[in-house]
Copies of this chain bind each other. A is one copy, B any other.
Amino acid sequence: MAPKSDEQFKDIRNKRYEEISNAALKVFARKGFAASKISDITSTADLSHGLFYHYFDSKKDIYVSIIMNVLDLFIETVETAESQKGTPWEQIVWLTKKTYSASLEQELDRHILIIQAFQSESLPDKQKKAMIQKYTTAMEGISRIITRGQRDGLFIEGDPMELAIYYQSLNHGLTLWNAKGFYPIDVSVEKVMRQLQA
């Protein structure tokens, strides 16, 4: 039997990397950064404590890595919304539906991570700046859609970025509410859209 090739090792590494990342996303979303233990992550991913450090330098390291990844996905999603066929109104509807299509719990975890991202204490300034940068990029995308919708008279008047913030705040608030778990509601896209309606 031939020894494993470099390719195979690389595949294993990538696979493990993903497993650990997914486990960490779950744990961080539920407990927050400080309360999450490496052992929580490794036991969720079903591997040894020590192995973690063959894939990530530190707890902060993986946390930042995941946040960045989640924010990139957020940017992507907004861009996809923006390139959607239809009116700006329909684009925001699409984005809203996507936000609550958390059939995959992973989607929900990602939203919670985004919300938590900035209250995360004591990260290097450089990384904090990068996070803000990404977040801002996504919000500017939403803001652009709103601007177009205002031209067509679909959305209420007002600073588009500010409206985007109201919209996003409502989403974050509802996400957190449902995450509490003791009185979950079925979020209605129409009720969320009222926020922006002309």
Contact = CB atoms under 8 A, between A and B. Distances in A.
Interface of A: 30-35, 115, 118-119, 121, 132, 136, 139, 156, 158, 161-162, 165-166, 168-174, 176-177, 179-183, 185, 191, 194-195
7 contacts: A35-B121, A118-B182, A119-B176, A166-B191, A168-B173, A172-B177, A195-B195
Contacts of A173: 168-174, 176
Contacts of A119: 30-32, 176, 179-180
A132 B35 CA distance: 22
Given A34-B35, A172-B173, A173-B173, A118 B165 contact: no
Contact of A176 (B156, B161, B169, B181): B169
Nearest to A117: B180
Given A30-B119, A32-B34, A169-B170, 16 more contacts: A118-B180, A156-B194, A158-B191, A161-B183, A165-B174, A165-B177, A165-B183, A165-B185, A166-B174, A169-B177, A170-B195, A171-B173, A172-B176, A173-B173, A194-B194, A195-B195
B174 A169 contact: yes
Contacts of A30: 119, 121
Contacts of A115: 176
A170 B166 contact: yes
A192 to B, nearest CB: 8
A183 B136 contact: yes
